[in-house]
Amino acid sequence: MLEKEYEYYLNHMGEFSQAHKGQFVVIKGEQVLGFYDTMPNAIEKTNEHHAIGTFLVHRVNEVEDVARFHSRVLF
């Protein structure tokens, strides 16, 4: 769910971060619905016209900060 929106974000992260670093981008499908200063504001404004769960809200960063953990468990 929302994989398309997240992929779109990753593909455009560089251009978003140039003008909107630290803001929250709202994406539905492959369309940017807006940029907002706070997550609650982004959700509230977007929810006026789009149902919750149909759009992605993500903070704009220069790099995607995802933590990955690898286990060294032997079986």
The answer to the question of residue 51 being in a domain is: yes
CB neighbour list of residue 47: distance below 8 Å, 6 or more residues apart: none
Q: How far apart are CA 33 and CA 56, in angstroms?
A: 10
Predicted confidence (pLDDT) at residue 69 exceeds the cutoff of 60: no
CA nearest to 5, candidates 41, 24, 31:
31
* Residue 47 domain boundaries: 3-59
The answer to the question of residue 67 being in a domain is: no
**pLDDT-based confidence at residue 1 (cuts at 50, 70, 90):** confident
Number of domains into which the chain is organized: 1
The answer to the question of residue 52 being in a domain is: yes
Predicted confidence (pLDDT) at residue 11 exceeds the cutoff of 80: yes
The answer to the question of residue 73 being in a domain is: no
The answer to the question of residue 10 being in a domain is: yes
Q: Model confidence over 26-47: pLDDT tens digits?
A: 999 999 999 999 999 999 999 9
DSSP state of 36: E
Is-above-0.85 flag for pTM? no
Supply the mean pLDDT for the chain: 89
The answer to the question of residue 72 being in a domain is: no
Place of tokens 């992605």: 56
Q: How many other CB atoms are there within 10 angstroms of residue 42's CB atom?
A: 22
Q: How far apart are CA 6 and CA 24, in angstroms?
A: 13
